[in-house]
Structure 1
């Protein structure tokens, strides 16, 4: 960015601006070319065998599926969940496949507990290099049916849990200029859905956190290029959270198998994608949808007829 001195002649200021515009155009072309190449040329997934990968909500569902896959790739997998039983089951499944895993119980809504977890994992396992913020809940009912406690719990787990984990693990990544933070948002974080008003709010918040963090790291005077961010936006995944999916065209908008979703998540992390949707074609479909006027978007929503009925 160009800064002007008060005593600098106006012609010099104009020249500075022109040079900055030219340089910005050059950089834009470079970034666009780089993005095009990345999109068209298959990337080699990074090796994670030396990584310490911490996954919250690892005791069931997507967290477990992702943990199993990283275990098979040779990573040291740190399984974090408030549910000890489910977490131990995940650990046993990883070790039965000759993987390396560790379990820790933690309530991600408790900031002190999260910071204590960070210290303990660092001393007992090593510095976390990939943080997967997966823990979340999804109550499904009309907004007026939610109690105050349900909404506060939803925000605490889905939003504050992400913030506390980032605050606890980002400092060490900044010191090393190395690390990867992954957030589980949702297609419900890209478009509003009936019966998921508070949930959609939390998943929009997760995307906002990750986008803002990307800008904060970009504008940090330190070199932060070694820190990667990935946001995952799955459609309806058959993990048990979505008990009453409503799908008019199952062949086009099918419920995604957890294993298939986990494969895509792990692939996105290993290729250091900035954001993905599951299925991948929803990424562009959603961008087109967002260009429509509000009335037209509602008509398309009525026609597609996809959503969740109350639990």
Structure 2
């Protein structure tokens, strides 16, 4: 039977261990906070030369620009799009510049086709090291004017397709302990907007999926996973996806051109930035506004008169 003094010493030891752990945790927390701030200004863009980059929705708009710019940086680009001709045009454009590109016609909502084509990419090109989930659709009208098929399609393209892409390419990344997954969400994935209820839901989901998967890999490998994640929240990009956007001070927040948006995304991926809004200041603005009561934030929203008009 343990003596009372032994129990007392055990309690003291456990308390001291807890105090040390608390001090260590606080110290590490603030060290990483400072490191994170410094990385914003000092992070270097790593080379993507030799990487195999797969871009969905590569046939037009931002997807095409992402494919072109990655190829210009020396990466081998794999272009996926449901539109065969537009995708082929992107591949031809890249090859005309003496760069490497492969094209595959794929409906990313078709799980079997994604897995089948994923295996073909592995045989034809090699293991994908940077996966860019860019494909998306954006109907914009009142919730009750959306058809069942339209709502299902929004989530199949904008959300569920991410899971099929993970199933096709994540196992190889895990085996090699190397890879980077870039996902296109939207500012509509950070705040709710009228006429975009299903779209907002699908893009909010993308943020959660990326964050949860990153955490799952971190904890399951005890912090040893080298697979990185970047989630992108663009304001209106002039690609035709968003048919119109209304804002009181239009000149202060003009639509972003696809070329500039793609360059920002690639830079963020190369620097290892986890979350990026386009323009960048919107990320910090959203975080600040979330601190205040919701009704107070709505006053600013009403002042800006920012909304997406219905397309019906």
Distance in 2 separating the partners of 1:32 and 1:243: 40
What is the CA distance between 1:54 and its match in structure 2? 0.3
Give the corresponding residue for 2:227.
Answer: 227
Aligned residue runs from structure 1 range 101-116, under 5 A:
101-116=101-116
Distance in 1 separating the partners of 2:282 and 2:47: 28
Describe the SS at the equivalent of 1:102. Answer: strand
Distance in 2 separating the partners of 1:280 and 1:228: 20
Give the corresponding residue for 2:39.
Answer: 38
Aligned residue runs from structure 1 range 23-62, under 5 A:
23-41=24-42, 43-62=43-62
Distance in 2 separating the partners of 1:270 and 1:61: 21
1:174 and 1:224 in contact (8 A); partners too: no
Distance in 2 separating the partners of 1:223 and 1:300: 41
1:177 and 1:223 in contact (8 A); partners too: no
- Write the deviation string for residues 25-61 of structure 1: whole angstroms up to 9, x where unpaired: 22113211211220232x3211111100000111111
- Write the deviation string for residues 128-150 of structure 1: whole angstroms up to 9, x where unpaired: 00000001100011101000000
Distance in 2 separating the partners of 1:247 and 1:239: 18
Distance in 2 separating the partners of 1:65 and 1:247: 26
Matched, 1:299 2:263: no
Larger radius of gyration, structure 1 or 2?
Answer: 2
Give the corresponding residue for 2:249.
Answer: 249
Distance in 1 separating the partners of 2:83 and 2:11: 66
Give the corresponding residue for 1:168.
Answer: 168
Distance in 2 separating the partners of 1:292 and 1:85: 49
Aligned length: 304
Describe the SS at the equivalent of 1:120. Answer: helix
Aligned residue runs from structure 1 range 195-274, under 5 A:
195-221=195-221, 224-274=224-274
Describe the SS at the equivalent of 1:243. Answer: coil
- Write the deviation string for residues 52-82 of structure 1: whole angstroms up to 9, x where unpaired: 0000111111111110101111110000111
What is the CA distance between 1:292 and its match in structure 2? 2.2
Describe the SS at the equivalent of 2:229. Answer: strand
Distance in 1 separating the partners of 2:224 and 2:89: 37
Q: Give structure 1 stretches of 5+ with no counterpart.
A: 1-6
Deviating more after overlay: 181-190 vs 21-30: 21-30
Matched, 1:128 2:128: yes
Distance in 2 separating the partners of 1:120 and 1:278: 34
Q: What is the TM-score normalised by the length of structure 2?
A: 0.94
Describe the SS at the equivalent of 1:18. Answer: helix
Describe the SS at the equivalent of 2:259. Answer: helix
Give the corresponding residue for 1:18.
Answer: 19
Q: What is the TM-score normalised by the length of structure 1?
A: 0.94
1:187 and 1:235 in contact (8 A); partners too: yes
- Write the deviation string for residues 259-306 of structure 1: whole angstroms up to 9, x where unpaired: 111111111111111110000111111112212212112111111111
Computed over aligned residues only, the root mean square deviation of the Cα atoms, in angstroms, reads 1.5
Describe the SS at the equivalent of 2:163. Answer: helix
What is the CA distance between 1:243 and its match in structure 2? 1.4
What is the CA distance between 1:211 and its match in structure 2? 0.9
